[in-house]
Structure 1
């Protein structure tokens, strides 16, 4: 993984095959980056009732649900693998299994290209069949969305990178809670800032400044869809 330098965006560099176009006002050429290639899997992390509805919802819940709804719909349409990760919280937690808060918010369309995987840890790969599911489908690139940015989203994306996948984390399709103030240490850290830092910490190998609407999908090569 390459190292980022302070003040730089993970995706600030111009792609090797980028071209330039004239600026109508100033004359100099402006770099333009080609559209990124599609991903063949969408990993929806912990979009469960406890985190997007009611008093425990993340501040950006409405936007998150809108973006993840769109991503899921387009992934299905284009034949990509859709994986819903469902966190199993401990007894008494808001996402304790088989409680209302544990339920997935998005309806699932079970089939060979859409699966639900329960997970006991932040990392969606840890002690789950996720790695095998992606391998069996021949997945090469994943988009990761959901909650919480600095915990399960980051942990799952980081392991995907370590396993050699191209990883896209759309900046407007993951969310978290505000970090409470710590007397003598810091004021409240807004959730949007936490999400940005969590994505930035993945390093320059992850694509973290793309919008959800810019993510495109294709069927994985072993899905039997062509």
Structure 2
């Protein structure tokens, strides 16, 4: 249903599952485990896995904290997109990678729910992509000290509002890892 012509493929977009990000995020082990399942599922379905890595003052390019967590490992030929903004499309080659692979539907997982995940799912949706947020495969850090809700509430709220997102000729949905994988096997 996306508004992108001549594109029918789905890709898994794994955002910022980096050592420095996941070290301060809640439920990191569980989220990484689910992302492992999603990566395996995507590869079995012959869907591209696209990795996104953020760099900033806190995540210097090529540093240990910038690296993808040890439990996850891009395979040869899988795209790695480097970004410096929250939205994975801004000032990156992500759109080129997706266009070349004929992608119209993104399955999104990673970190942080209230920052790069949120920016990217909105960025994708406004660019014409169908977007599925994997409800139990994204996380964030505790920023309640600065007035943000507790992390579990941030994650729940992100899932809640995305489930009501609408626009002409595009779909937005929220799905668990288990249901996504089971649905593909039916």
- 8 Å Cα contact 2:9-2:102 kept in structure 1: no
Q: Does 1:172 align with 2:136?
A: yes
Matched, 1:47 2:13: no
Report the structure, 1 or 2, having the larger strand content: 2
- Alignment match of 1:108 (pick from 74, 89, 94): 74
Contact 2:106-2:131 within 8 A present in 1 as well: yes
Query: Contact 1:181–1:189 at 8 Å: present in 2 too?
Result: no
Q: CA deviation at 1:39?
A: 6.6
Contact 2:106–2:129 (8 Å) recurs in 1: yes
CA offsets per residue over residues 163-197 of structure 1, 9 Å max, x none?
11111001100000123245xxx6x7221101122
Cα distance in 1 for residues equivalent to 2:130 and 2:176: 16
Deviations 1:73-108 (A, max 9, x none): 110111101100000112xx1x21121110011211
CA contact (8 A) 1:86 1:118 kept: yes
Question: 1:213 and 2:183 equivalent?
Answer: no
- 2:44 aligned partner: 77
Partner of 2:165: 204
In 2, the alpha carbon distance for the partners of 1:189 and 1:66 equals 25
Instruction: Tell me what 1:97 maps to.
Output: 61
Count of residues paired in the alignment: 168
More helix by share: 2
TM-score (norm 2): 0.83
Two-structure CA RMSD over aligned residues (Å): 2.0
With normalisation by structure 1, the TM-score equals: 0.69
Gaps of 5+ in 2: 1-7, 167-171
